[in-house]
Amino acid sequence: MATKYTLPPLPYGYDALEPVISAQIMTIHHTKHHQTYINTLNNALASQAVATDKNDIVSQIHLQNTINFSAGGHINHTLFWENLVPASSPSAQTHVASKLMAAISARWGSLEKFQEKFNAVLLGLKGSGWGWLVQDTESGNLEIVTTKDQDIVPAGKKPLLGIDMWEHAYYLQYLNDKGSYAKKIWNVINWKKVEERFVGGSDSVFGTLAGLRSNM
Amino acid sequence: MSATLLRTSTTARSALRAGASRRAAAMASMSFVRGKATLPDLPYDYGALEPSISGKIMELHHKNHHQTYVNSFNAASEQLAAAEQKQDIQAQIALQPLINFHGGGHVNHTLFWENLAPSKNGGGGEPTGKVKTAIETSYGDFASFKTKFNTALAGIQGSGWAWLVKDNETGQVQIRTYANQDPVVGKYTPLLGIDAWEHAYYLQYQNRKAEYFSAIWDVINWKAVEQRLK
Ligand SMILES: [Fe+2]
Ligand SMILES: [Fe+2]
Ligand SMILES: [Fe+2]
């Protein structure tokens, strides 16, 4: 029997990220978009279980695309909610992430330069996708990468911080001005969580996520 | 439309190909030779497609989104011309994704505006004549075609477009989806395109994109589709 995934509750209220992200966006994003990825994923996994029972490998292959997309949507959004926090929270202060800040400064010169670079990468996305700060698990180096649509970060990279650049993430508030969204979101980054992911293993990223771990 | 649209950079490129000795001369006159892509006027008012598509969406979509593709395409074309001038092949290759994305965005939206029409000006209904025959040949009847088209739209993972295209080899029509702003080029001719980017519907429909896909059939300009099929 396939695992059933469920929508993890937001770790803050729908209006808690205002004025950076409106309550309307957060509500639709969480209860509709994220929920839809989970529903689609559960259906696809149920179909896959049937196909596996029947040794129907062709159907299994055909399901991979939907699983990649919907599971990616679930994982990416879960990571995203967790790496955001109200601007008033102590976790939004950069000094709670001293190891990460040192690594960012070593790699990009300063936090500001890193943010500029990150934002340029976000705005360069052609279509729907995500921008990520990742750590290479071999070298330990920090990198900025993008993933398209709902692809998760590739194997060998540990996601530390993800920003949703789908239009649904900002359009009701920022319209086509995605540059402002990309700038303002830095006010609601949960640096404490990002530091935890940085100093911890893969488990610190995926281990606590509701229902994710079993299939990671 | 495409004739005007797509002419822009070919003139300049053939001028540049004329030969190394004449390269400097071509360069000097390039800003005059090269046509810039420009935002086409909408063939109807921003509010004219309501209630299928709100006036606010149409205005932002045309004035902001489409304009940005035009501007970015022109910028990339200029960089491309400069790279060609310098015979910098790596730079030319590196610019291709930008040309494809922004050029595609310009071409796709131009085709999209033209294949929509207010219902009071003939938008909606069912195709007749050649388009009807072509659709029935491929899909049996119009209702089945519409269902398949909407399924294709709903299945797009991320940003993209669904198109009714003509296969130039077989002459038959078919539904194809394209990611992001990938344009319909090569062996297919675009007949009817529906923008499935979130910006095309989000202010009015939010996540209920199936409602947008269903409502847009009330404002399809089948006459424009027929002209493209000829
Ligand atoms: Fe999008
Ligand atoms: Fe999202
Ligand atoms: Fe669009």
Give the CA distances from residue B113 to residues A82, A157, B45, B197, in Å, rounded to whole numbers and listed in that order: 40, 42, 11, 15
Place of tokens 């990520």: A132
- Residues A45-72 have a mean pLDDT of 96
Q: Which chain B residues are Cβ-neighbours of A126 within 8 angstroms?
A: 97, 101, 180-181
Q: Which chain A residues are Cβ-neighbours of B160 within 8 angstroms?
A: 127
Q: In angstroms, rounded to a whole number, what is the distance separating the alpha carbons of residues A131 and A63? A: 26
C-beta of residue A170 within 8 angstroms of C-beta of residue A20: no
Instruction: Name the pTM for this structure.
Output: 0.90
Above 50 in pLDDT, residue A63?
Answer: yes
Q: What's the gap between Cα A102 and its chain centre?
A: 23
B159, A128: Cβ pair inside 8 Å? yes
Is the pLDDT higher at B102 or at A213?
Answer: B102
Give the CA distances from residue B111 to residues A98, B2, B66, B107, in Å, rounded to whole numbers and listed in that order: 52, 8, 12, 6
| pLDDT tens, residue by residue, A77-127 | 999 999 999 999 999 999 999 999 999 999 999 999 999 999 999 999 999
| pLDDT tens, residue by residue, B128-172 | 999 999 999 999 999 999 999 999 999 999 999 999 999 999 999
Q: Which residues contact B97 (CB under 8 A, 6 or more apart)?
A: A126
Q: Which residues contact B151 (CB under 8 A, 6 or more apart)?
A: none
pLDDT the model gives residue B13:
34
Supply the CATH classification number for the domain A23-82: 1.10.287.990
pLDDT the model gives residue A201:
86
Supply the CATH classification number for the domain A90-214: 3.55.40.20
Ligand nearest to the CA of A33: 2
* Closest CA of chain A from B113, distance in Å: 19
pLDDT the model gives residue B12:
34
The two domains A23-82 and A90-214 share their CATH topology (first three levels equal)? no
pLDDT the model gives residue A212:
54
Q: Which of A123, A126, A170, A175 to mutate to test the interface with B (most CBs of B within 10 A)?
A: A126
pLDDT the model gives residue A140:
96
- Could you tell me the two tokens for B123? 């938008």
Does B199 belong to an annotated binding site? yes
Q: In angstroms, rounded to a whole number, what is the distance separating the alpha carbons of residues B213 and B138? A: 21
Angle between helices A98-108 and A191-199 (to 10 degrees): 80
Number of separate helices (H) and strands (E) present in chain A: 9, 3
| pLDDT bucket at A2, cuts 50 / 70 / 90 | low
Check residue A22 and report its DSSP letter.
-
Above 60 in pLDDT, residue A32?
Answer: yes
Beta strand pairing status for B160-167 and A142-148?
unpaired
Q: Which chain A residues are Cβ-neighbours of B60 within 8 angstroms?
A: 175-176
pLDDT 10s per residue in chain B (230 long)?
Answer: 443 444 343 333 333 333 333 334 334 333 434 689 999 999 999 999 999 999 999 999 999 999 999 999 999 999 999 999 999 999 999 999 999 999 999 999 999 999 999 999 999 999 999 999 999 999 999 999 999 999 999 999 999 999 999 999 999 999 999 999 999 999 999 999 999 999 999 999 999 999 999 999 999 999 999 999 98
Above 90 in pLDDT, residue A134?
Answer: yes
Residues constituting chain A: 216
Domain residue extents for chain A: 23-82, 90-214
Please tell me if residue A175 touches chain B, with a CB cutoff of 8 Å. Answer: yes
Domains with residue ranges and CATH for chain B? 2-114 (1.10.287.990), 119-229 (3.55.40.20)
Ligand nearest to the CA of B60: 3
Please tell me if residue A209 touches chain B, with a CB cutoff of 8 Å. Answer: no
Q: Which of B68, B73, B99, B198 to mutate to test the interface with A (most CBs of A within 10 A)?
A: B198
Place of tokens 């071999």: A138
Place of tokens 């921003």: B46
Does A168 belong to an annotated binding site? yes
Beta strand pairing status for A129-136 and A157-164?
antiparallel
Q: In angstroms, rounded to a whole number, what is the distance separating the alpha carbons of residues B41 and B63? A: 10
C-beta of residue A5 within 8 angstroms of C-beta of residue A211: yes
Average pLDDT, whole number, for chain A? 94
A126, B203: Cβ pair inside 8 Å? no
Q: Which chain A residues are Cβ-neighbours of B157 within 8 angstroms?
A: 65, 69, 149-150
Q: Which chain B residues are Cβ-neighbours of A181 within 8 angstroms?
A: none
AA letter at B80: L
Does B65 belong to an annotated binding site? no
Ligand nearest to the CA of B69: 3
Choose among B142, B130, B145, B137: nearest CA to B172: B137
**What is the b/e burial string over A111-131, where b = at least 16 CB atoms within 10 angstroms of the residue's CB?**
beebbeebbebbeebbbbbbb
The rounded radius of gyration (Å) of the Cα atoms in chain B is: 19
What's the gap in Å between A194 CA and the centre of ligand 1? 26
- Could you tell me the two tokens for B75? 């910028």
